[in-house]
Structure 1
Amino acid sequence: MPENPDTPPSDRSTVRVLLRLWPYVRPVRARLFTAAVIAIVASCLSLVIPLVLKWLVDGPVANGDPGGVWLGALYLLLLGITEAVLFGFRRWLVARPLAAVEARMRADLYGRLQRLPIAFHDRWPSGQLLSRGTTDLMLVRMFLAFPLTFLLVNGVTILAGYVLLLAQDWSLGLVLLTPVIPLVIVSNLFERRYGVVARTSQDQVGDLTTLVEESVLGIRIVKGFGRHRSQAKAFHALAGHLRGTELAKARLLAAIWAVITAVPELAIGTALVLGTVQVADGNLSAGTLVAFLSTALALRWPVESIGFMLAMSKDAATATERYFEAMDAEEEPDTATGTTAHDTSEGVRFEGVTFRYPDAPEEAPPVLDGVDLHIRPGETLALVGGTGSGKTTLTALVPRLHEATTGRILLDGEDIALMEREKLRSLVSMAFEEPTLFSASVGENVLMGAERAGDPELRRALGVAQADGFVDRLPEGTATQVGEQGLSLSGGQRQRLALARAVVGRPRFLVLDDPLSALDVHTEARVEAALREVLRETTALVVAHRPSTVMLADRVALLSQGRIAAVGTHQELLRSSAEYAWLMTGEGKNR
């Protein structure tokens, strides 16, 4: 996967890129093939109409036979109705399976995004991923519904049409073959130039989606700081770039449409003049000329649609490439090879753990550097450190949100790198400093922390987090919808629900990243009192910034510049560590 999601188009051909859709198309290939055959039959029926016209002109019209004229008109009407019915049937035939293809691709993308590592999501803007699951998949479905079929249908129609033209009059047929070479050259040039613009356009759609999403989610900041004008300016700038790119696409389409329309029209005009001369000289019947010109005109749409369908195919190829950029990203490794010891009473142990972010400069020091730490079974250890010391990163290594660069982490003697992620995350529960809630009910948000928990566990967890009081006052209690990001609640309320989610499943290991930072003093005291009961049943690592949170712990570890500088009780570290004493006695929260 590229480091930067806004990558230029690859050198792979459109066909090779689109062939990657085959696993999704294969289950519905029978219906698509049937639809293509039906479309070919319907399209070729339009080539029968000129033959009926030839019969009409040279027969009933020339002989003054009104009955024959009416019969010919009936034939033409039946051919038109049959063609319309077949095309309508083709559309019905592909609608449901192509909707299923799009749904399956979207589901696969969503599932893939859930399995990709945090480092991937740190690098990729959410709008870029959102546009791949919406706009890009819509372009793919449109390609499968129309250009995929009609590139074949129109190709067969053009081939059959030219055979008829040559059969009617080979000299005039050769005249209409002259545009082929220039059209092939122009189409090749168009495809290459259009591919670059199409990729740029779709990347710009992703950037614009990201900006809109950030503005909506951060609307309180935008309004609170009066930044609506600067946000609007940024939006208009991105929208202006996208508009310019779309206009460039339109200019390319207009250019190729003009060429593809004008060149065949010149050839048809030339054939008309030469055919009229031959009719005047008696070398060609009027009916044959009418049939010839009618066939040529019937081929106008298949020829003129080449530019349009090439553009749609290139858009689809670019969308497919963008889709598989996310799908090809390397998933989180589930297990490693090797053996490990197993001891059910070891607690949590960090052995020589070093961590460096994958995209960090080589000369930059690691975030964590040789961390050795032991949390005894049933013990609560507070992790204290200044800003940038690596506290949050260390806690993220326990559930393998990030992978340790070197060293290992043991849970009850078992190396977490050798554990299945599902098992690991059933043992470890987390509450983050910045609580995230989903557009669901209060109860559903809390019960995300335990798959099999029910109402008794929910009420207990709300009680531990001192959230039962405000939840019961909500309009529908635990069934109340909290809205996107839980912004209908206060920061302290969101943090208490996140804490309830962490403890609802009675986890074996609990990791809390400053879970009480948004609470007032009185609520914090009540939560700490209830939380002490929970901590007696588990092994816990708690990031702390205030003495009140530290007092929940049995011991304290001081993390300084990515290393464990000291371990002891709160009182011991106050006496022995000047840095710890400064962190605990300074005003406010220092990170």
Structure 2
Amino acid sequence: MIRLSRYLKPYMWPAIFSVIFVFLQSLANLYLPTLMSDIVDTGIVKGDLPYIYKMGLWMLLVTLIAGVFTVIANYLASKVAAGFGRDVRNSMFAHVETFSLKEFDVVGTSSLITRTTNDIAQVEQVYMMILKMMTMAPLMCIGGIIMAVYKDAKLSLVLVVTLPLLIAGITVLAKKGIPYFKAIQKKMDRMNLVLREELTGIRVIRSFNRTKHEINRFDAANQDITQTSIKINQIMAAAMPLMMLIMNLSTVAIVWFGGLRINSGSMQVGDLMAFIQYAMQIMFSILMGAMMFIMIPRAQVSAVRVNEVLGIRPDIIDDAGREMKPEVEKERGVIFNDVTYSYPGAEKPALSHISFTARPGETTAIIGGTGAGKSTLLNLIPRFFDTARGSIRIDGRDVRDIPLEELRSMIGYVPQKAVLFNGTVAENIRYGNEQASDEEIREAARIAQADEFISEMGEGYQSQIAQGGKNVSGGQKQRLAIARALVRKAEINLLDDSFSALDYRTDARLRAELAKQTGESILIIVAQRVSTVLHADKIIVLDDGSVAGIGTHEELMGTCPVYQEIVASQLKKEELA
């Protein structure tokens, strides 16, 4: 939590004033029992009604002032805590956006969601408690003890017995509860993971009739977190009766011994009443402190989890501002030079010694079997991963020497799994270029063969796309994703198996339009179907992470057995169809 306290710096003055108003509120609360004592001992005992009215009004005024101080202190504390939470969430989100895909795999998406929401909320809540109670609890405790001793030093010996009992009870309960606070956050990660998998995989779950299995799976995770929560609540439920028992026994003892001192003439009734209130203030301040120290360990666990994410150094470092290296390769295009890449923990490289050049004005196609490394190769260009060995150059510049924002602004990317966002069709296409005009959006949709089905939608380009594109088909999603990339008018277009859901006719028309429209840009297509790559200027055949052949369709048919096997297997399937 100390490391996160740097996010409180912009709110230093509201925090200071919050503490000041809590201090003033506490002083007012400590003054009230003394006023009540004076009313009883001077006004009621002597029957002095003007004095009772005078001191009663004064007591009411002090109460109102204390209420105003409380409202202001709570407002400022809430402002500081909410601002802190907002800034930490923004900082974490911005930091997570710098992660490569490797970091997402290490931490886990579900855990990142929990840490960004629940964990930060826990720390935010404790900081608010600290601002409100860190000043009040010690001041009320110390001030209450001073005032109690001032009222009757001998009667204060009752507190010498009861306060250690109260502190001992709180300590025992805290030791039992803290381990559960630590465990519950990890169990919440697990429940979020199961829930996320079930929501994103609902179609697969239903198609295999695994709904009951998934309900049981979620129930198991839910029961796990529920049992832990029940144990925490049981401990906290035991705390209040125990505390109230000690406090009530203390009150009985104070009244008993206080009555004896009143009978002996050593104490007045008003002083006894004030003493009881001071004792209650002391004990409640200890309870407040106990609540704070019980919550702090839980928040500390959350703070550690937040700091773990903020402390991750992304595998991909943005080299903006770094001294440029001299260009060693003047040839235009995307140039792979002996590139090797391995996934963390993999037994062998996903790509080995890949070398080729994708030139402007040409269509470069990549084909191969499942797991051959096609998507991995494409992901190295925008630096979703970094090469383990070798280099990738764009017009002579190593991609590692190009600032990420500049590099990715050069690229129009269509992922293997088309992703759409909640919003209109036009907003989804304009996601690729915020400055795109309506005419440019329509042109991109026309090239992507999406204009026809968009026109048939209820409101055309203003039709709403549901979250995740659930209200459009797979082929429509792919075409919208292609339009989004084309509206960018990028120097490099990367299409990762973006034709798989299209019929052969739409596939052919789309490729023909792409060939006409991309002009001098670099077009790299990953595909599974031979028909998609048939007319490419250059076809790169991957087999088990290595280049098995490079050439045109005709050249590969004569020189590459792997390509011949792919063509033969697909032709048979097409003929059977």
TM-score clears 0.5: yes
- Structure 1 pair 61/354, CA: closer, same or farther in 2 (3 Å)? same
Looking at structure 1, the residues matched to 421 and 171 of structure 2 have their Cα atoms a distance apart, in angstroms, of 48
Determine the structure 1 residue equivalent to 2:342.
356
1:66 aligns with 2:54: no
- Structure 1 pair 260/560, CA: closer, same or farther in 2 (3 Å)? same
Looking at structure 2, the residues matched to 534 and 345 of structure 1 have their Cα atoms a distance apart, in angstroms, of 23
Indicate which of 228, 239, 244 corresponds to 2:227.
244
1:50 aligns with 2:40: no
Looking at structure 2, the residues matched to 440 and 122 of structure 1 have their Cα atoms a distance apart, in angstroms, of 28
Determine the structure 2 residue equivalent to 1:89.
72
Indicate which of 80, 85, 95 corresponds to 1:102.
85
1:301 aligns with 2:284: yes
Q: Kindly provide the amino acid, as one letter, of the partner of residue 79 in structure 1.
A: V
Looking at structure 2, the residues matched to 330 and 24 of structure 1 have their Cα atoms a distance apart, in angstroms, of 19
Indicate which of 550, 554, 569 corresponds to 1:571.
554
| TM score, norm. by length of structure 2 | 0.92
| TM score, norm. by length of structure 1 | 0.90
Indicate which of 162, 173, 197 corresponds to 1:214.
197
Determine the structure 2 residue equivalent to 1:173.
156
1:506 aligns with 2:483: no
- Superposed CA deviations along residues 147-180 of structure 1, whole A, max 9, x for unmatched, are 4321221111111111111222223223313444
- Superposed CA deviations along residues 425-453 of structure 1, whole A, max 9, x for unmatched, are 11122212210111122122222223433
- Structure 1 pair 184/63, CA: closer, same or farther in 2 (3 Å)? closer
Deviation at 1:188, TM superposition (A): 5.0
Deviation at 1:101, TM superposition (A): 2.8
- Structure 1 pair 476/123, CA: closer, same or farther in 2 (3 Å)? farther
Indicate which of 83, 95, 106 corresponds to 1:123.
106
- Structure 1 pair 338/345, CA: closer, same or farther in 2 (3 Å)? closer
For residues 431-510 of structure 1, what are the structure 2 equivalents within 5 Å? 431-510=414-493
For residues 360-379 of structure 1, what are the structure 2 equivalents within 5 Å? 360-361=345-346, 364-379=347-362
Looking at structure 2, the residues matched to 95 and 464 of structure 1 have their Cα atoms a distance apart, in angstroms, of 53
For residues 20-419 of structure 1, what are the structure 2 equivalents within 5 Å? 20-181=3-164, 183-184=166-167, 187-188=170-171, 190-191=173-174, 193-331=176-314, 332-335=316-319, 339-341=325-327, 345-358=331-344, 360-361=345-346, 364-419=347-402
Looking at structure 2, the residues matched to 54 and 504 of structure 1 have their Cα atoms a distance apart, in angstroms, of 80
Deviates more, 1:413-422 or 1:58-67: 58-67
- Structure 1 pair 420/188, CA: closer, same or farther in 2 (3 Å)? farther
The answer to whether the Cα contact below 8 Å between 1:260 and 1:307 also exists between their aligned partners in 2 is: no
Tell me how many residue pairs correspond in the alignment. 569
What do you get for the CA RMSD once the two structures are aligned?
2.4
1:585 aligns with 2:571: no
Deviation at 1:97, TM superposition (A): 4.3
Q: Kindly provide the amino acid, as one letter, of the partner of residue 443 in structure 1.
A: A
Deviation at 1:265, TM superposition (A): 4.0
Q: Kindly provide the amino acid, as one letter, of the partner of residue 485 in structure 1.
A: G
Give SS of 1:357's match.
coil
Deviation at 1:185, TM superposition (A): 5.1
Determine the structure 1 residue equivalent to 2:409.
426
Deviation at 1:455, TM superposition (A): 2.3
Deviates more, 1:249-258 or 1:413-422: 249-258
- Superposed CA deviations along residues 319-354 of structure 1, whole A, max 9, x for unmatched, are 322222222222330127772416554312111211
Contiguous gaps of at least 5 residues in structure 1: 1-16
Give SS of 2:303's match.
helix
The answer to whether the Cα contact below 8 Å between 2:73 and 2:132 also exists between their aligned partners in 1 is: no
Looking at structure 1, the residues matched to 337 and 5 of structure 2 have their Cα atoms a distance apart, in angstroms, of 47
Contiguous gaps of at least 5 residues in structure 2: none
The answer to whether the Cα contact below 8 Å between 1:369 and 1:563 also exists between their aligned partners in 2 is: yes
- Superposed CA deviations along residues 77-105 of structure 1, whole A, max 9, x for unmatched, are 33333222321232233444443333222
Looking at structure 2, the residues matched to 433 and 586 of structure 1 have their Cα atoms a distance apart, in angstroms, of 22
Looking at structure 1, the residues matched to 77 and 289 of structure 2 have their Cα atoms a distance apart, in angstroms, of 22
The answer to whether the Cα contact below 8 Å between 2:163 and 2:283 also exists between their aligned partners in 1 is: no
